[in-house]
């Protein structure tokens, strides 16, 4: 299988080359020339563990990787660093099923892809005789940064630089990042929002002179954001795992359709579900859940994408995004792989901040349903589910649950549904605990970790144990305009 760009048809770009490069030279994102189809029966999955499911799905996308190399990647990525042998357990309450993607080392769903990406990078370097050090350059809205730092810390032949909005992540997210160890890691707080960070990273990627400057020092840029196809493809696997778990739990009849509800800001997580559906997994509806920054909801409702709006800092900060990078891949697919159309839309987005898709493209997005929940709705849902079911969910999962309830009320659709739970409640202690009870108001996040532990019957993830007392290793803060110089400071 070969890859092309969303903005220009390319010839014979292998998966390993696309993984190393991260983003196409024309500014587009790498996509498979043809989406693969599953080459096994659904029933077979019932006997597979997560590592086997991941291998079976990823190999369909990354055909230039040898079996022994890909199996090495999957078995080493999904191992004891996860605190559940299932890797992605399914939790069910009376009215909902949650696929818990937060049992990795940073207790967020980004671990699912970022635990395996470093192995992809090393294999890809070997296949392409790449001698330069790979510099992972990443913008984060909170979760990607720490998961990438955790995955790449100490990995020979790589360096990783993470930019995050200085005032746009939770205290615990920030503490996780700035206490990261590893001589090859570099973390910078940016005086701006996530979109500023993401745009700054894209501009660095697109700076030909800068890339040449670093090439002279034997460095080559790549990305750990979901713009990297090596980040996106592993996410496809857990939708297949969700289907198998739903069947084995008696929540779904084998061969029947299920719905998925995905809280998303950058669109990568739900795009992975779209890929799974197009590979043959019986998914009926792709429910896209947004917070108050409802740019994706408005797009699905109207066909017009407009980032010219007020930016809101919410209790679900990983979705505080107005420029959803992975949406570009969907535009490529629903436009009939029309790279000229994608270029036109991306140019309008850059110059005017708004674009509208054609009626035909909207028709091809009919499987998506958009909904959103504000902070008040999020808070209400966390309390209700905990009071009624004893199940504690984080703010992003609560956004998804709220949208799920609205979807069922609007459509009367009784299709068995999986809600993607993207983070542990321990990641957002203040927002979660103050939703449960007003008595937690005014208490700092780190004290609340111990209070949450009481609600969780003594359970606390290893990732949170002693976090408040860890030494701060990274104290860098910069303006958006200073991001390139910060890269130079670390590398040169």
What are the backbone angles phi and psi of residue 159, rounded to the nearest 5°? -135, 150
**Count of the separate structural domains present in the chain:** 1
Instruction: Tell me, yes or no, whether 124 lies in a domain.
Output: no
Residue 98 CA to residue 26 CA, distance in Å, equals 39
Residue 74 CA to residue 57 CA, distance in Å, equals 11
Kindly list the distances between the CA atom of residue 36 and the CA atoms of 271, 279, 360, in Å, as whole numbers in the listed order. Answer: 15, 6, 23
pLDDT at 226 (0 to 100): 81
Question: Within 10 Å of residue 483's Cβ, how many Cβ atoms?
Answer: 23
Q: Which H/E stretch holds residue 98?
A: strand 97-100
Q: What angle do CA 75, 257, 50 make, to 5 degrees?
A: 10
pLDDT at 302 (0 to 100): 98
Instruction: Tell me, yes or no, whether 241 lies in a domain.
Output: yes
Q: What is the DSSP secondary-structure string of 245-304?
A: HHHHTTSS-TTS-EEEEEE-SSSHHHHHHHHHHHHT--EEEEEEEE-SS-HHHHHHHHSE
Instruction: Tell me, yes or no, whether 69 lies in a domain.
Output: no
Q: What's the distance, CA 401 to chain centroid?
A: 18
Strands 90-92 and 97-100: what pairing?
A: antiparallel
pLDDT at 206 (0 to 100): 87
Instruction: Tell me, yes or no, whether 262 lies in a domain.
Output: yes
Report whether 243 contacts 282 (CB < 8 A): yes
Residues designated catalytic: 110
Range of the domain at 248: 90-105+235-459
pLDDT at 181 (0 to 100): 94
Q: What is the pLDDT of residues 445-480, one digit of tens each?
A: 999 999 999 999 999 998 898 899 999 999 999 999
Instruction: Tell me, yes or no, whether 440 lies in a domain.
Output: yes
Would you write out the chain's pLDDT as a tens digit for each of its 492 residues?
Answer: 999 999 999 988 999 999 999 889 899 999 999 999 999 999 999 999 999 999 999 999 999 999 999 999 999 999 999 999 999 999 999 999 999 999 999 999 999 999 999 999 999 999 999 999 999 999 998 778 899 999 999 988 999 999 999 998 888 989 999 999 999 999 999 999 988 998 999 899 889 999 899 999 999 988 887 889 999 999 999 999 999 999 999 999 999 999 999 999 999 999 999 999 999 999 999 999 999 999 999 999 999 999 999 999 899 988 989 999 999 999 999 999 999 999 999 999 999 999 999 999 999 999 999 999 999 999 999 999 999 999 999 999 999 999 999 999 999 999 999 999 999 999 999 999 999 999 999 999 999 999 999 999 999 998 898 899 999 999 999 999 999 999 999 998
Instruction: Tell me, yes or no, whether 439 lies in a domain.
Output: yes
Question: Within 10 Å of residue 219's Cβ, how many Cβ atoms?
Answer: 17
Q: Provide the CB-side half-sphere exposure for 416 (13 A, CA).
A: 22
Residue 255's CATH number: 3.40.50.1100
Q: Which residues pair with 297 in a beta bridge?
A: none
Strands 133-139 and 258-263: what pairing?
A: unpaired
pLDDT at 227 (0 to 100): 86
Instruction: Tell me, yes or no, whether 2 lies in a domain.
Output: no
pLDDT at 103 (0 to 100): 96
Instruction: Tell me, yes or no, whether 449 lies in a domain.
Output: yes
Residues ≥6 apart with Cβ < 8 Å to 357: 303, 304, 305, 331, 334, 335, 345
């Amino acid at each position: 299988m070969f890859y092309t760009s969303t903005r220009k048809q390319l010839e014979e770009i292998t998966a390993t080359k696309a993984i190393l490069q991260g983003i196409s030279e024309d500014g587009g994102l790498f996509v498979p020339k043809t989406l693969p189809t599953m080459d096994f029966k659904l029933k077979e999955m019932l006997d597979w563990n997560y590592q086997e499911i991941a291998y079976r799905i990823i190999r369909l996308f990354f055909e230039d990787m040898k079996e022994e190399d890909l199996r090495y990647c999957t078995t080493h990525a999904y191992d004891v660093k996860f605190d559940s042998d299932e890797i992605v357990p399914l939790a069910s309450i009376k009215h909902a099923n949650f696929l818990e993607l937060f049992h990795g080392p940073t207790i967020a769903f980004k671990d699912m892809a970022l635990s395996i990406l470093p192995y992809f990078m090393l294999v890809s370097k070997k296949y392409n005789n790449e001698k330069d050090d790979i510099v992972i350059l990443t913008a984060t809205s909170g979760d990607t940064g720490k998961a990438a730092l955790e995955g790449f810390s100490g990995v020979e032949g790589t360096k990783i630089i993470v930019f995050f909005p200085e005032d746009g992540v939770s205290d615990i997210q920030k503490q996780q990042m700035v206490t990261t160890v590893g001589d090859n890691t570099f973390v910078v707080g940016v005086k701006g929002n996530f979109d500023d960070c993401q745009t700054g990273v894209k501009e660095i990627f697109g700076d030909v002179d800068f890339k040449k400057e670093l090439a002279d020092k034997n460095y080559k840029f790549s990305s750990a954001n979901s713009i990297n196809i090596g980040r996106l493809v592993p996410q496809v696997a857990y939708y297949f795992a969700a289907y198998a778990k739903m069947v084995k739990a008696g929540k779904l009849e084998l061969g029947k359709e299920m719905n998925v509800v995905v809280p998303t800001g950058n669109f990568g997580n739900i795009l992975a579900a779209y890929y799974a559906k197009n590979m043959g997994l019986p998914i009926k509806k792709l429910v896209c859940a947004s917070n108050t920054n409802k740019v994706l909801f408005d797009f699905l409702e109207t066909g017009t994408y407009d980032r010219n709006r007020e930016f809101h800092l919410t209790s679900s900060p990983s979705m505080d995004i107005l420029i959803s990078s992975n949406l570009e891949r969907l535009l490529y697919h629903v436009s009939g792989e029309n790279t000229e159309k994608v270029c036109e839309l991306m140019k309008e987005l850059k110059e005017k901040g708004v674009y509208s898709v054609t009626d035909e493209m909207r028709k091809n997005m009919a499987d998506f349903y958009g909904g959103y929940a504000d902070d008040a709705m999020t808070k209400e849902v966390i309390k209700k589910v905990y009071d009624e079911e004893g199940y504690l969910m984080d703010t992003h999962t609560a956004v998804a649950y709220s949208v799920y309830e609205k979807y069922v009320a609007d459509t009367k659709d009784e299709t068995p549904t999986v809600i993607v739970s993207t983070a542990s409640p321990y990641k957002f202690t203040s927002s979660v605990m103050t939703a449960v009870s007003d008595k937690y108001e005014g208490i700092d996040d780190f004290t609340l970790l111990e209070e949450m532990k009481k609600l969780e019957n003594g359970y606390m993830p290893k990732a949170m144990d002693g976090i408040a007392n860890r030494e701060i290793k990274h104290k860098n803060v910069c303006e958006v305009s200073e991001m390139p110089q910060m890269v130079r400071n670390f590398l040169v």
